[in-house]
Amino acid sequence: MGLVAAIVYVALAGGVAELLTEGISTEDDVAELSLGHFPVLIPLVAAGVWFVWRAGWTKHVWRTPAAFETQPRRWWMLAFPALLLIQSIVLLAGTPWGAWSAAVLVVIVLVNILVGVGEELYFRGVLRASLRAHHGETVTLLVTSLMFGAAHALGSVLAGTGAGFVAFQVVVTATSGAVFYGVFRATGRLWIAMGLHALNDFTLRVSSGDLTSRSADNLDPSPINVVVQALLWVLVLVLLTSCIRQDTAERREKRAASTEV
């Protein structure tokens, strides 16, 4: 069920948005950004929230025991939200605010809130809860992250981009998905992952000084952000190792319990 929900989200968020922006001519980038997000994401987010409530998945989707609430306490996971916050603050400090009007900033904020809420709700919410009900933490981490990466590479595939670049895009975006997975595991609250996701997307867009973010590829990252990004990649590997160890410990406990019975 979670897999179906995630696929439907990707198909509609990507496919319908593409049809709207291609089929309806717009005068500027603000109108195109709005057209490609608001008509699609608002009903998708509403449908996702309704589905979670109607299916009785509320406590499984929105909340999980935080890393510091379980045994052993994994305080190190709090580095995920802390580093993302530092990265956003550094980008905001270097943002060319004079390039943006207040009205455009409001549109960007609303768009990125919808993106953050929608993607976290469907990937780290519905899909994660569905997988975790049947599989261990390792499978759940890998599948949700790879699905997240594949979803963001769909546009490149449809555009006929080379397989090498698509594979690279999947790996990079899947790692970002694993980072947000770490945020949710660390805090135990999906809304925090949603907020940091929205903030991260917002800062990446406005720091480029270009609404389309095409010029973001030419940005020179600050040394602080280079270090932060490297630390996040290392933390993802540590998270994967932690999930493997957790699953191994749970299997041992189950075998021990069955032997005693």
Candidates 4, 1, 6; CA nearest to 146 is 6
Concatenating the DSSP letter of every residue in 128-195 gives HHHHHTTS-HHHHHHHHHHHHHHHHHHHHHHTT--HHHHHHHHHHHHHHHHHHHHHHHHHSBHHHHHH
User: ω into residue 65 within 30 of 0, thus cis?
Assistant: no
- Written as six digits, the tokens of 150 are 């594949």
Query: Judging by beta carbons within 10 Å of its beta carbon (0-12, 13-18, 19+), is residue 67 exposed, middle or buried?
Result: buried
Q: Which of 5-19, 20-34, 150-164 has the lowest mean pLDDT?
A: 20-34
Tell me how crowded residue 39 is: count the other CB atoms within 10 A of its CB.
14
Q: In whole angstroms, how far apart are CA 127 and each of 7, 34, 60, 140? A: 10, 27, 11, 9
Amino acid identity at 182: G
User: What number of residues does the chain have?
Assistant: 261
pTM for this one? 0.93
pLDDT, tens digit, 9 for 90 and up, residues 217-247: 555 677 888 999 999 999 999 999 999 999 9
184 and 192 Cβ atoms separated by less than 8 Å = yes
Cβ contact 197:118 at 8 Å:
no
Render pLDDT for 84-118 as a digit per residue (tens, 0 to 9).
Answer: 999 999 999 989 898 899 999 999 999 999 999 99
What confidence score (pLDDT) does residue 215 get?
A: 47
Question: Among the listed ranges 1-10, 132-141, 172-181, 185-194, which one has the minimum average pLDDT value?
Answer: 1-10
